[in-house]
Structure 1
């Protein structure tokens, strides 16, 4: 099984917004805040706006998109004792006037916010809320009027779902990067954040965690194609307006992504082909490519060692039309092990009292193994019959090891060399 965990961590550093960029955004955002404060002070309309960052920048799930034009959100909160007498449109107009002229492009008055565009860089969305002490904020929506909405609660909800290692936030970034690279329309970052948080499967490796999370998301959407906002406005289905075309496209792309992930994680897939499988959905120029990664694992790093029992393994070498031979007997008889043979490694003798676990390691060595990206060396669980089936694919001084694990301790181990030769 190709292990792309380290490549995913590298990918995460490539797509995540850099600390210097974040600092520039904060400086720019603070300048806008000051400008809005001055506007309201000069207008003397009785409002003293407060601000609260929201969205992916505050949640630390923001990515740098391929077109380099990302968005950040900064909520404007008007603390009042009662619902403002001013209309939603009037408040939108005030914010528009406050920031107009700050950039070359005029602000854009949208349904849920006023957008300030920094051409070729990013845009800043400014939603407007009124809030009465101890109550839920209301968002100024141009077509729906004042609607209950509290993005601060969503941030709290998401952070409570997040793990200390940051894997959930990385998974959200990977999903956003997939959406960013996709030619069609995939869900928003908000939807992906909810789907990921509700379906996350944590794992030591990001590639496995992403695959299992994708499976859960697909299974959930197959049961019911919905994505409910977990906070106010309550019971809002963010996928409600999806057309059948968009729904089918999303599920089709999700299925394709899962198929590529399965190929990348297949035991027979090389590191090179695993990278290519992920690149199909993230881009060749974006997802790191590494033709060879040393994936060898060592039993000493996973379990305590106390060899107190006997273990012996052998290998049955067979080919259609020929009688099977013991690999140990072949080596003693100096018979060559050629390519194209079927190899069945099995336990010959073991005096470890049950119950116990059996684990195997197959290690390929040599120039051809490196060229084929088939060095391998991961420690894998036994399939249940105390056997390991392989093939003599290419030349090299390979070996197979077997371990017996009891009470989380390696109590027996055995090794057999597998010297595969070119035919004479």
Structure 2
């Protein structure tokens, strides 16, 4: 089994904020605090703001995002004896006035906060609260009025869950890095923090702990697709508003990640190939490439079927590695849902869908016609569809038929193939809109020389 613990440690170093960035962010935050304090001092309306950092910056789970724009939260609290007579909108306006001119861009008055934008650097969100002695804070929500909310309580809850080695915080960073790379409708950092804390499976190795935590999250969500906030407002289901499409996208991405993690941890996978499994979900620009320390002929397929077919005792000779990667051709910003399926045809036999065979633990026999097609897609037209067919395993290598080139769809949103020889194979589909890959899907096909 490849041990990628050190690769994960290096990955964590690359995505976590370094000390210089943290120092700079604190200085910027403190400057804004001083400006708000001065505003209310000059206003002399009896209100004195106090501050409490919140979110991933205070929890030490913040990551360096791929787009370079950090998200920092700093709560503004007013201790009062009774509910303020002025409206939520007035409090928002006061904060906008207090920070106006501090940066080149005007502050943005959002529903739950005032956002201060530091162009191409980060943005600072400033939610406003009032506190009555002995009670939970109330957040100034422009759409709902004053609502109970206590992010300080959540930080305390999370820190109580955190281990002294920091593994939980690293796992949250890994989840956020996955979401940052995949884009699309993956959960927020808050949701991932709760799911990780409730499903953590500690291990001396980060790769094993991360896989087991992923598996636990998947299992819990399959039982009940919900994520309840553990602190005020208690029992709020943060996944309640997920649409059917977004839920399907998230769960399919999670299932694919678990499958790749299982392949990475398989006893026959070397470090280089294991790292490629992880890089597929984290991005090859950020997750380090391992070293092929074993001499076995193991070939990365991004498919859980790979280990069933590669015969490491046989010398397979040279072959042309023709695989192409969509990341090398287009920017990736997965923001839509895409699902593909496959019809299996043969004269004299009833046409079957591939998932029906999988459900019955059947492999696809050779010499069948395979018709891959888009079964669900919510990308607004117009767009371009592209396909990749990848053969993996000893037979594909012997035949020098690895394939893997990305080809454009003919306009029918389908790709026809034949099951020529046994081994693991997979097909990926990409939707490209305005020069950006906005959706992708994949289906694995295991072919064996046997009849149904």
Q: Under a length normalisation based on structure 1, what TM-score does the superposition of the two structures give? A: 0.70
Which whole-Å deviations, capped at 9, do the CAs of 1:162-185 have from their partners, x for residues lacking one?
000000000000000000000412
Alignment partners' CA distance in 2, 1:37 and 1:222:
48
Residue in 1 aligned with 2:271?
271
Alignment partners' CA distance in 1, 2:297 and 2:208:
25
Q: Is the 8 A contact 2:10 2:288 kept in 1?
A: yes
Report the number of matched residues: 306
Q: Is the 8 A contact 1:292 1:370 kept in 2?
A: no
Which whole-Å deviations, capped at 9, do the CAs of 1:310-363 have from their partners, x for residues lacking one?
xxxxxxxxxxxxxxxxxxxxxxxxxxxxxxxxxxxxxxxxxxxxxxxxxxxxxx
Deviation, 1:151, is 0.6
The reply on whether 1:166 has 2:166 as its aligned counterpart is yes
Q: Is the 8 A contact 2:129 2:138 kept in 1?
A: yes
Which whole-Å deviations, capped at 9, do the CAs of 1:172-213 have from their partners, x for residues lacking one?
000000000004121000000000000000001000101000
Residue in 2 aligned with 1:197?
197
The reply on whether 1:244 has 2:248 as its aligned counterpart is no
Which whole-Å deviations, capped at 9, do the CAs of 1:147-172 have from their partners, x for residues lacking one?
11111110000000000000000000
Residue in 1 aligned with 2:47?
47
Residue in 1 aligned with 2:187?
187
Deviation, 1:290, is 2.1
Q: Is the 8 A contact 1:176 1:192 kept in 2?
A: yes
Residue in 2 aligned with 1:119?
119
* Greater radius of gyration (CA): 1
Which whole-Å deviations, capped at 9, do the CAs of 1:383-403 have from their partners, x for residues lacking one?
xxxxxxx97557xxxxxxxxx
Which whole-Å deviations, capped at 9, do the CAs of 1:257-288 have from their partners, x for residues lacking one?
11110110001112111111000000011101
- SS of match in other structure, 1:33: helix
Residue in 2 aligned with 1:38?
38
Deviation, 1:71, is 0.3
The reply on whether 1:95 has 2:95 as its aligned counterpart is yes
Question: Where do 1:387-406 residues align within 5 Å?
Answer: 392=313
Alignment partners' CA distance in 1, 2:133 and 2:285:
50
Deviation, 1:372, is 7.1
Alignment partners' CA distance in 2, 1:228 and 1:50:
29
Runs of 4+ in 1 over 6 A off after TM superposition: 370-373
- SS of match in other structure, 1:124: strand
Alignment partners' CA distance in 1, 2:168 and 2:135:
30
Q: Is the 8 A contact 2:296 2:313 kept in 1?
A: no
The Cα RMSD (Å) is 1.9
Residue in 2 aligned with 1:286?
286
* Structure 2: unaligned runs, 5 residues or longer: 300-310, 316-452
* Structure 1: unaligned runs, 5 residues or longer: 294-363, 374-389, 395-424
Structure 2 CA distance for partners of 1:94 and 1:172, relative to 1, 3 Å = same
Deviation, 1:99, is 0.4
Q: Is the 8 A contact 2:271 2:291 kept in 1?
A: yes
Residue in 1 aligned with 2:176?
176
Deviation, 1:291, is 1.7
Which whole-Å deviations, capped at 9, do the CAs of 1:364-407 have from their partners, x for residues lacking one?
7xxxx39979xxxxxxxxxxxxxxxx97557xxxxxxxxxxxxx
Deviation, 1:132, is 1.4
Residue in 2 aligned with 1:384?
none
Q: Is the 8 A contact 2:273 2:290 kept in 1?
A: no
Question: Where do 1:221-240 residues align within 5 Å?
Answer: 221-240=221-240
Deviation, 1:292, is 3.9
- SS of match in other structure, 1:85: coil
Alignment partners' CA distance in 2, 1:21 and 1:73:
15
Deviation, 1:45, is 1.0
Q: Under a length normalisation based on structure 2, what TM-score does the superposition of the two structures give? A: 0.66
Q: Is the 8 A contact 1:64 1:70 kept in 2?
A: yes
Alignment partners' CA distance in 2, 1:272 and 1:107:
47
Structure 2 CA distance for partners of 1:29 and 1:391, relative to 1, 3 Å = closer
Alignment partners' CA distance in 2, 1:85 and 1:222:
46
- SS of match in other structure, 1:234: coil
Alignment partners' CA distance in 1, 2:297 and 2:70:
40
